[in-house]
Amino acid sequence: MTQGGADQPVARARIARQAAFRIGVTAETRAAAYLVGRGYAIAARRFKSKVGEVDIVARRDAELIFVEVKAIDLVTVKAELVASNAHVGSSVPCYCAYW
């Protein structure tokens, strides 16, 4: 085993995390551009509250939406709109109470 051999798995894991972060940021940017193209104004990115973090908060007229973006890869981007009226027992946090 070489002197730096023990650090290789750690370095690979760090590189994988950085790549995943870049893919996520790119997906969030694409989702924000999509919303802007549909007439929404981006009110916040990576909004943090007591219940967690949501990727995008967007507004169009009186409508306010919360969007969680999931990127499988750079081609597949899935955005979930978090309803402002979260159902009782829902696993989706209600960010609107903290906005």
Q: What is the pLDDT of residues 45-96, one digit of tens each?
A: 999 888 888 899 999 998 888 888 887 765 676 666 654 444 444 545 666 6
- The separation between the first and the last C-alpha atoms of the chain, rounded to the nearest angstrom, is 53
Buried b (16+ CB within 10 A) or exposed e, 1-30: eeeeeeeeeeeeeeeeeeeeeeeeeebbee
Which residues span the domain enclosing 30? Answer: 5-98
pLDDT of residue 46: 92
pLDDT at 98 exceeding the cut of 80: no
Alpha carbons 15 and 3: distance in angstroms, whole number: 20
Number of domains forming the structure of the chain? 1
The predicted structure's pLDDT at residue 89:
46
Global confidence as pTM = 0.69
Q: What is the pLDDT of residue 42?
A: 97
User: Could you tell me whether strands 63-71 and 52-60 are parallel, antiparallel, or unpaired per DSSP bridges?
Assistant: antiparallel
